[in-house]
Chains A and B, each alone.
Chain A
Amino acid sequence: EAGVAQSPRYKIIEKRQSVAFWCNPISGHATLYWYQQILGQGPKLLIQFQNNGVVDDSQLPKDRFSAERLKGVDSTLKIQPAKLEDSAVYLCASSPDGNYGYTFGSGTRLTVV
């Protein structure tokens, strides 16, 4: 079974620029998550999708972050404009039904300078 694919692996941008991350979940997984992991901390949920609908985006900074999951498969997470404090690893995870069986991708490491 192929895992969760994320790209790019690394990204360096200047503050106030925009950036986008892409995630392809495990085939057939209905639930997709984006987590933010700041260095030395545990992952924090940004947004949860069930198919192509948003279930939980309560911790997403909506003034600068946006995410979509078209056709209930791939997902993109965008930051515009980026701030220094957005430097982190952005992890995508998927689950068959949102209950158990989470699988994480390797993440995208974002550095904002």
Chain B
Amino acid sequence: EDQVTQSPEALRLQEGESSSLNCSYTVSGLRGLFWYRQDPGKGPEFLFTLYSAGEEKEKERLKATLTKKESFLHITAPKPEDSATYLCAVMGEGAQKLVFGQGTRLTINP
């Protein structure tokens, strides 16, 4: 069974203080690893898809990386508007569904 574990559960940073969120996964053949952002009262919003180990993708202050066992979401010089819950999900071979982790709730204080 595909599994995703995210850490930490919650993270509080000062504005400009860089950090990383972790997503560890177990999957029978990775088709894709997905990062989503979720704001309170809204549905998840797509950020990145990573397909193979060594791949990296960037968007503004966010950079996602992938190894064979885990993915990191690096946040550089974050701003208060980056505050949200970040969700990681995997899609395994032969599947057309996403299996999500429990999310990391990120708070950036001004």
Chain B interface residues (CB < 8 Å from chain A): 4, 6, 31-32, 34, 36, 41-46, 49, 87, 89, 91, 96-103
CB-CB under 8 A from A42, the residues of chain B are: 4, 6, 87, 89, 100-103
Does A7 sit within 8 A of B, measured CB to CB?
Answer: no
A104 in contact with B44 given A40-B102, A42-B89, A42-B102 (CB within 8 Å): yes
Contact among A33, A91, A102, A106 with B46 in the assembled complex (CB-CB below 8 Å):
A102
CB–CB A45/B98 < 8 A: yes
Which chain A residue shows the least CB distance to B49? A100
CB–CB A55/B96 < 8 A: yes
CB–CB A48/B43 < 8 A: no
Contact among B45, B49, B100 with A44 in the assembled complex (CB-CB below 8 Å):
B100
| A:61-113 near B, CB below 8 Å | 91, 93, 95, 98-100, 102-107, 109
Identify 6 new A-B residue pairs, CB closer than 8 A, beyond the known A102-B46, A102-B98. A43-B44, A43-B98, A44-B100, A98-B96, A105-B43, A107-B42
9 residue pairs of the A-B complex, CB under 8 angstroms, read A42-B102, A42-B103, A48-B96, A50-B96, A99-B96, A100-B32, A104-B45, A106-B42, A107-B43
